[in-house]
Amino acid sequence: MFKHCYLTKRVQMQSKLVRLLGSSGAFGHCGSGVSAGGLEDVEVLVGLGLTGRQARVYLALLRTGVAKAKAIAALSLVNRQEIYRIIDSLQKIGLVQRNVTAPTTFTATPIAEGTKLLLAQKTSELSIMCQKATQLTKKLSQATCNPYSVASDQKPCLGTVSEGDRGKKYRQAIENTKHTLEAVTSWKRFKQTTTLFETQLQNALQNGATIHIATQKTPNQPLPKWITQTQNKKPTRLQLKTLPNPATAAITIFDHTHAAITFNPDTPLTKGPDLWTNNPTLIALSRAYFTNIWT
């Protein structure tokens, strides 16, 4: 695929060069002058790696054959203050020669030789890009260390948890959280979660996990004391966001790999039904819902 892209680009550049070199009346001064230096000619040179100003200066110098900086600036419509910097950059590429005269004059490398230099440079760049793209593809194809990926031996599943096991399910999920816990919930479920699973949540924070919870706080209702104390620590891994409107659903996402979904956010935490899943598609949808509310 990358080799095909590389060859296609080279063919396109070569066809543009043919048009540039074969333009009617384009080169009239000893094979190295340009009568027009139109937009199409500038476009070809830009495609070969020059900037727009470099292309105009080179084409202007091809037109005049030999010229002083002042004349080149006037013909190329490039600011006089920039002309020496641009000429220097073209000289480094090999497209301009400085003549030992008083005052100093400059000569352009003939167009055939100049485009050959640019094409060789561009071909080398494309070749390097193709090699890097191939290496990147190979690297990403072999990557297996994503901490948020579902284990290969764990098949995507979807189901409900019985009312009697719901507390145990949440407790285990929080205990197993290593990286992130993200939740959108009602105030009622938030209070239940932070009360029933205070120990598990604090342990997760101490072990390096980050907890983000979005909830609609009831007026005049204080936060649990341990939440306030944790938030006062700097830095804190626990962040709360107050919602202006009630959540339309309650979700909790554990390490981007498991999610608990409740369609009625006012349903008590210990009542059903809760939908539990590790299906990547449902996880992505749940995270999109959370991110939309959080941001």
pLDDT tens for each residue of 206-235: 888 999 998 887 667 788 888 888 877 777
* Range scoring the smallest mean pLDDT among 17-21, 22-26, 71-75, 237-241: 22-26
pTM for this model (two decimals):
0.48
Q: Residue 247: how many CB atoms within 10 A of its CB?
A: 21
Pair of tokens at residue 60: 């202007």
Band of residue 255 on the pLDDT scale cut at 50, 70, 90: very high
CATH class in words for 2-138: mainly alpha
| Local confidence band at 285 (pLDDT 50, 70, 90 cut-offs) | confident
With bands split at pLDDT 50, 70 and 90, how would you rate the model's confidence at 52?
confident
Could you tell me the strand order of the sheet in which 66-67 lies? 66-67, 105-108, 96-99
For the chain, the average pLDDT equals: 77
- Report how far residue 217's alpha carbon sits from residue 40's, in angstroms, rounded to the nearest whole number: 63
Provide the pLDDT for residue 186. Answer: 86
Burial of 54 (0-12, 13-18, 19+ CB in 10 A): buried
- 158-294: CATH class: alpha beta
Sign of the Cα pseudo-torsion (220, 262, 181, 178, in order):
positive
Give the confidence band of 191 by pLDDT, cuts at 50, 70, 90. Answer: confident
Domain with CATH 1.10.10.10 in the chain: 2-138
Percent of the chain with pLDDT over 70: 75
Please write down the HEC assignment for all residues of the chain: CHHHHHHHHHHHHHHHHHHHHCCCCCECCCCCCECCCCHHHHHHHHHCCCCHHHHHHHHHHHHHCEECHHHHHHHHCCCHHHHHHHHHHHHHHCCEEEECCCCCEEEECCHHHHHHHHHHHHHHHHHHHHHHHHHHHHHHHHCCCCCCCCCCCCCCCEEECCHHHHHHHHHHHHHCCCCEEEEEECHHHHHHHHHHCHHHHHHHHHCCCEEEEEECCCCCCCCCHHHHHHHCCCCCCEEEEECCCCCCCEEEEECCCEEEEECCCCCCCCCCCCEEECCHHHHHHHHHHHHHHHC
Contact between 156 and 279 under an 8 Å Cβ cutoff? The reply is yes
Contact of 242 with 133, CB cutoff 8 Å: no
Mean pLDDT of 23-46: 54
Q: How confident is the model at residue 163 (pLDDT cuts 50, 70, 90)?
A: low
Contact present, 83 and 72 (Cβ < 8 Å): yes
Amino acid 253: pLDDT: 92
**Residues of each domain in the chain carrying CATH 3.30.870.10:** 158-294
Instruction: Answer positive or negative: Cα dihedral of 153, 159, 161, 162.
Output: negative
Confidence of residue 180 (pLDDT cuts 50, 70, 90): very high
Can you give the pLDDT at residue 18? 47
Report the C-alpha gap between 277 and 252 in whole angstroms: 11
In this prediction, residue 11 has a pLDDT band, given cuts at 50, 70 and 90, of: very low
Looking at residue 26, its pLDDT comes to 41
Q: Report the residue count for the chain.
A: 295
Arithmetic mean of pLDDT, 59-78: 88
Is residue 172 left, alpha or beta, with left meaning phi > 0 and alpha meaning psi from -120 to 50? alpha
In this predicted structure, what is the pLDDT of residue 265? Answer: 79
Predicted pLDDT at 130? 72
253: phi then psi, degrees, rounded to nearest 5: -115, 125
